[in-house]
Every structure is written in C-alpha cells, then in structure tokens.
Amino acid sequence: MLAAVPCTVTRMYGGQIRTLVLEGPPRAMGERHGSELAPEIRGYLADRLDLAGDPYWAGRAEVPERILEIAQQTLEAHERFSANLFDEMSAMAGKAGITVAEAVVVGGFTDLVDVVRSEGGTTLEEDDCTGLIDAERGLLAQTWDMHASAGEYVYLLDVRPEAGPRAFVQTTAGCLGQIGMNEAGVAVGINNLTSYGKPGVTWPFVVRKVLEQTELDDAIKVVLDADLAGGHNFMLMGPDGIGCNIEAMPGGNRVTRVDSGVFAHTNHCLDDRNRSEEGSRSPLSEASSAERLENAEQLAEDLDAFFADEEINRGAATPHDVATCGAVVMRTTAGVLEAVWGRPGEHPWEQFDFE
C-alpha cells in the first residue's frame, strides 16, 4: 500500500471510498445505480449542466437547453457503439428521474464541453489529471482532477456483469465509468485533452467497453474504433504489464506502445498532428500541463513523491476550481487496485482485489 503523505489544504470532500455493487444484465445494473444514487445523480446533473455552458469551461456561454440538444444528438452514436451500455445508462437514468440525454451530461461532461467549443469559443483555463504507465512494475497510476464540486460524488463500482469480466471502476454518481481494472488484468485510465468536438461517443462508454476486454490489443481496438465526441488521452495496460497510450482526438489518434520504462501524460497532445486539433488554451494551462508532465517523469519511480507533488496533487479554493478529487493505482500483474477518495495525503489509500 502507498504511504500517507501530509497535506495541509482544507478538506472539501473525501474519506473512506463509497462502493456500490452492480451485477446481472445491463438493465439491472443500471437500475440499481439509478435507484441507489438518485439524489446525488440529480445534484451532479444540475452542477454539470450549469458548468457545461460556463465560459471558463467551454470558452463561451451557452444555455442549458442547447447543452441538452447536443447531448440528444449523441444518443445514436452511443447506442451504436454499445447497445448493452446504452441499456445500462438508460435504465440508470429512468430510476434516477432524469432523461437519457441528461445522463450523457452527467457522465460525458468534458466531451460535451468540446462540442460547445466547436460552435465558437475563446481561450480556456482547462487542465485536469496527471497519469503514468510503468511497464517495469506493471502499474498504471493517475490523479483524477475535475471541478472540485465533482469530488462530492466519487464512488467505486464493483461491476459484476452477467457476461464478461468483473471490474473495479472509479467513477462518480451517474457516470458509467472513469478509471478501472478488470479481473483479467486489463486497466484503463484517462487524461482530458482540449479538442473541437462533434456529436459522438463520450469517453465513459469507451472506458467501460475497454473493461469488457481480456486482452490489451482488443482494448486498444475499442479506443481506435470509437467515433469520439471529444478528445481524451487513454492509458491502457494488459495483464502482463505491457502498456499503451492513445491520444484519441475526434479527427485522429496517436498510439504509443509502452513495453519498457515509464510513460507519463498530462493535458496536452504530444503528437504534432493531434496538436493541430487542440482548442486554444491559456499560457497558464499550457505551463501547468508541461510542468506536471516533467514532474511526473522525474517522480515516476517513487509513487509517494509523485502523489505528494503540489502541482500533481492539487487543492482548490472554490467548488468550481480544478482540484484532485481522487487517485488510483492499478497493478495489473498483481490484480490489485488502490484508490483514494479525495486528495492523497488527506485521505487513506484503500486496496481492492478480486479474491
């Protein structure tokens, strides 16, 4: 287990991570998710619907009605990508008392922001998540950074589908999945990228479909075949510790196999072709992303130091500032996932295995 690291920033959320078991066919899993977390899902929706039209996040102001129109336009792509996951999301929405389009807002917020941006926007202050793949130690580690208010909604799902591998999935109420590892030893993490989006599949669907796979190459194919709504960097690892990083933009991908050493990534594209697709970001955001990348590369061999770094492990002054809302370490060769709800150092790491 990782060590506790002292942290002095005021606590806004966190503690022992809340878990929810989802089992059975897709509709049953969705109904349990929606029934158990209905108040939180509706609260999270209100927060994200407001922020999706905030100039700080989207580059321009937009009304909630237009955000929901955009979400509605993605539904066909989601159902085409995975009928089972679409059934799960639809059942979750029904039990939570929201529409399916609203469920897309809850889970796919950052991709919808990319679509809003594509309709005209200005320079952003967007910056979230620092991750690394360590093929030598067979682990994938990252912070999950988001508007600090999102930290109130963090859960760990124990997904036990009717068919396919069981998985531990770090997520938020109403979102099918953000980061996770399955019992076959396939793991997936993410870093947000700034792109000009289009109606398509949002990233939580890709995460969950990756976790239905039992081989790394099949997981890679899931990402590459997705008709994406917005840009994300996907960090994958297989049961033998071999990793793969995919900068996945709506218009193209950059695939980097990681079969030795360490590969780190933050919130800017490393591939020149992908950089041409990036939305405009402020100099401060660019500097933060570059600094965190450099720090991650230097601290990769010492996870305690990695998660103690003040640029990587970030606090917030207000609920809508970007902050570290959680962190995950997935050791695929050992079949162990470690997670923390809130900032590492303020709250304890907890271990989950499939035994």
For 36, the token pair is 């158990």
> Would you say residue 5 lies in a domain?
no
Residue with tokens 């590369």: 297
Q: Count CA atoms within 13 Å of residue 6 on its CB side.
A: 1
Classify each residue of 204-232 as buried b or exposed e, where b means 16 or more C-beta atoms within 10 Å of its C-beta: bbbbbbbbbbbebeebbebbeebebbbbb
The H or E element that residue 97 is part of is none
Domain extent for 104: 10-355
Residues whose CB is less than 8 angstroms from the CB of residue 113 and which lie 6 or more positions away in sequence, other chains included = 52, 57, 58, 126, 197, 230
Residues whose CB is less than 8 angstroms from the CB of residue 142 and which lie 6 or more positions away in sequence, other chains included = 129, 130, 131, 132, 179, 189, 190, 191, 235, 327, 328
In the prediction, which pLDDT does 284 show? Answer: 81
In the prediction, which pLDDT does 282 show? Answer: 74
Q: Count CA atoms within 13 Å of residue 253 on its CB side.
A: 19
CATH of the domain at 154: 3.60.60.10
Q: Count CA atoms within 13 Å of residue 334 on its CB side.
A: 16
Q: CB of 317 within 8 A of CB of 9? A: no
Higher-confidence position of 157 and 1 = 157
Q: Tell me what the pLDDT averaged over the chain comes to.
A: 92
> Would you say residue 4 lies in a domain?
no
> Would you say residue 3 lies in a domain?
no
Average pLDDT over residues 254-274: 93
Is the pLDDT at 329 greater than 80, yes or no?
Answer: yes
> Would you say residue 2 lies in a domain?
no
pLDDT one-digit tens code per residue, 187-200: 999 999 988 889 99
Q: How many degrees, rounded to 5, is the angle at CA 225 between CA 221 and CA 230?
A: 120
Among 103-107, 206-210, 271-275, the least confident range: 271-275
| CA dist., res. 156 & res. 139, Å (int) | 19
pLDDT one-digit tens code per residue, 3-57: 654 443 345 688 999 999 999 999 999 999 999 999 999 999 999 998 888 887 7
In the prediction, which pLDDT does 296 show? Answer: 95
Is the pLDDT at 259 greater than 90, yes or no?
Answer: yes
pLDDT one-digit tens code per residue, 106-123: 999 989 888 888 777 665
Residue 190: beta bridge partners? 234
Q: What is the count of structural domains for the chain?
A: 1
> Would you say residue 227 lies in a domain?
yes
Higher-confidence position of 206 and 285 = 206
> Would you say residue 187 lies in a domain?
yes
pTM of the model: 0.94
| CA dist., res. 126 & res. 112, Å (int) | 14
> Would you say residue 198 lies in a domain?
yes
Average pLDDT over residues 100-104: 98
Question: In which band, very low, low, confident or very high, does the pLDDT at 347 lie, cut at 50, 70 and 90?
Answer: very high
In the prediction, which pLDDT does 252 show? Answer: 87
> Would you say residue 103 lies in a domain?
yes
| Rg over CA atoms, the chain | 18
